[in-house]
Amino acid sequence: MRWRLILAALVAAGASTVAVAEPGAAAPARDAYADILPAPVSARPERGAFTIGRHTTITAGPGARGVAEQLSAILHVPVASRAPKGGNTIALAVAGRDQGDESYRLDVGPGRVTLTAGRAAGLFAGVQTLRQLANGTSIPAGHVADAPRFAYRGAMLDVARHFFSVAQVERYIDQLALYKINTLHLHLADDQGWRIMINSWPRLATYGGSTAVDGDPGGYYTQAQYRAIVAYAAARYVTVIPEIDMPGHVNAALASYAELNCDGVAPPLYTGTDVGFSSLCVNKEVTYRFLDDVIGELAALTPGPYLHIGGDEAHATSQADYVTFMNRVQGIVAAHGKRVQAWHQVVTASPLPTTVAQYWDTTNVNPQVAAAAANGTGVVLSPANLAYLDMKYNDSTPLGQDWAALIEVADAYGWDPGTYLVGAPTSAVRGVEAPLWTETIRTSADIEYMAFPRLPAIAELGWSPASTHDWAAFRLRLAAQAPRWQALGINFYRSPQIPW
């Protein structure tokens, strides 16, 4: 009843437009099926509506129970073993396993809602659509058939420059899941801090993780806490990819263990924001024993297939040493049963057939990356001038940076990942990712202000068919999300480009 009371209060306060299922949603002023974000493959409204009432139940076929229980918690509707007589049922079923992992079909009629998918991940994606369609106790009738354009739709959170608690990371995971983002890339180590306990090298966390940018408080995750984040994400069909940046961006590690330095002298901890000045000692065997331990422990904690090994801005490492280092570390990752993801500079070494290069440059022309993609290297696109969420919206944005660009919502939305990188075949593009570096970010409210509304824009580029990408339509669908964000307590930037 609580969410119905909140709904009544918002309506009384004058809220008038939204098409979401969140507490506090008011009646939609336009076709809810036209407002789904990310845009589905197809959506068609029908006459009538499904009403959620005292006798409504959720039923779950084999493999659907977990998602059904999550929907139950959202709608405050019980999960039953069988449908009641007379209908009024929301039925979830895993069927047709020849479908893609995240494809789903949603059919809403006056007495029954049916959500089917080839995998539980598809059911979860369908539930996010259902949440947007539901309006208080009513879900408008209609049909949705949907599947993602790209398998990889990610967001990166830098917890190294500033540390964020388990609860803060979990809050961000919930927000990612709302828009069918299925990958959380955690940047766990950099010059300013090391954020994961490595039992065989404990000073990495206890000393290397003791500070942050500007001398702000540091912190680190115990292995139990990291496992909790991974499990929380997995329950929302989000895969965690941990990153230990190397061979540069390693001052926190060098400060923690003197033997990792070529001269055997540990530098002081660093709280600035410069890049490119630190490097592991490529010619010392202890470096690779250290990395074998770190990668081994991290691989054991991480069920997902990828570990991210950084590889960017290694200005203090010669190119010859960089190639030697990256090739050897790729082998270490493979030996621990994982695949490599790395920033796109990895293509200047010898990428393994399974290595994925993450492209972050500010131009769509990079012959080396395009050639690697043409030769089979997978590419995740995160162009800094379009997808970096830490870039300012405009000159007066109080947070963020502007070295790559000023990125308004139209900029974040106005590119096609499938054709962006000149010379790279679309088949090599694994998907998109929106990184958020945190030199200026300290709170969850800061994260949200920089992510919303640009994060849903990147999410749509990753999920929706290219044929649906239309700025005029998107800005209206994005505007319809604002009351939802307000009801969920999400801080966001009110871009003048959007008719809020």
The pLDDT tens digits of the residues spanning 36-91 come to 999 999 999 999 999 999 889 999 999 999 999 999 999 999 999 887 777 799 99
Q: How far apart are CA 333 and CA 411, in angstroms?
A: 36
Burial (CB count within 10 angstroms: exposed 0-12, middle 13-18, buried 19+), residue 328:
middle
Average pLDDT over residues 150-157: 98
Q: b/e for 154-169, b at 16 or more Cβ within 10 A?
A: bbbbbbbbbbbeeeeb
pLDDT on residue 24: 39
Q: Give, as one character, the DSSP assignment of residue 403.
A: S
Q: Please write the tens of the pLDDT for every residue from 352-390.
A: 999 999 999 999 999 999 999 999 999 999 999 999 999
Q: Give, as one character, the DSSP assignment of residue 220.
A: -
Average pLDDT over residues 479-496: 97
pLDDT tier, 99 (very low <50, low <70, confident <90, very high otherwise):
low
Burial (CB count within 10 angstroms: exposed 0-12, middle 13-18, buried 19+), residue 337:
exposed
Q: How far apart are CA 154 and CA 183, in angstroms?
A: 4
* Active-site entry in 313, 408, 439, 460: 313
Nearby residues of 57 by Cβ (< 8 Å), 6 or more positions away: 77, 78, 79, 80, 83, 84, 88, 89, 90
Q: How far apart are CA 426 and CA 374, in angstroms?
A: 9
Q: Report residue 325: phi and psi, to 5°.
A: -65, -50
Q: What are the angstrom distances between the C-alpha of 467 and each of 56, 393, 458?
A: 37, 27, 15
pLDDT tier, 98 (very low <50, low <70, confident <90, very high otherwise):
low
Statement: residue 26 has pLDDT above 60: no
pLDDT tier, 7 (very low <50, low <70, confident <90, very high otherwise):
very low
Which range among 52-56, 214-218, 257-261, 417-421 shows the weakest confidence by mean pLDDT? 52-56
Which range among 16-30, 108-122, 192-206, 466-480 shows the weakest confidence by mean pLDDT? 16-30
The one-letter amino acid at 454 = R
Which range among 79-88, 265-274, 287-296, 379-388 shows the weakest confidence by mean pLDDT? 79-88
Q: Which residues pair with 433 in a beta bridge?
A: 154
Q: Please write the tens of the pLDDT for every residue from 219-262.
A: 999 999 999 999 999 999 999 999 999 999 999 999 999 999 99
The one-letter amino acid at 406 = L
Structural domains of the chain, with CATH: 2-146 (3.30.379.10), 152-475 (3.20.20.80)
Q: How far apart are CA 384 and CA 407, in angstroms?
A: 9
Q: What are the angstrom distances between the C-alpha of 45 and each of 26, 36, 116?
A: 19, 12, 18
Whether residue 313 lies in the annotated active site: yes
pLDDT on residue 30: 60
Assessment of whether the complete model's pTM goes beyond 0.85: yes
Q: Are 67 and 86 in contact, with CB atoms under 8 Å apart?
A: no
Task: Extract the tokens encoding 45.
Answer: 């409204």
Q: How far apart are CA 380 and CA 382, in angstroms?
A: 7
Identify which of 106, 108, 111 has the alpha carbon closest to the alpha carbon of residue 42. Answer: 106
Statement: residue 446 has pLDDT above 50: yes
pLDDT on residue 85: 76
Percent share of the chain, pLDDT over 90: 90
Q: Where are the alpha helices (DSSP H) in 343-470?
A: 367-374, 384-387, 409-413, 444-451, 454-463
Statement: residue 115 has pLDDT above 70: yes
Statement: residue 406 has pLDDT above 80: yes
Statement: residue 2 has pLDDT above 50: no
Q: Please write the tens of the pLDDT for every residue from 329-362.
A: 999 999 999 999 999 999 999 999 999 999 999 9
Statement: residue 175 has pLDDT above 70: yes
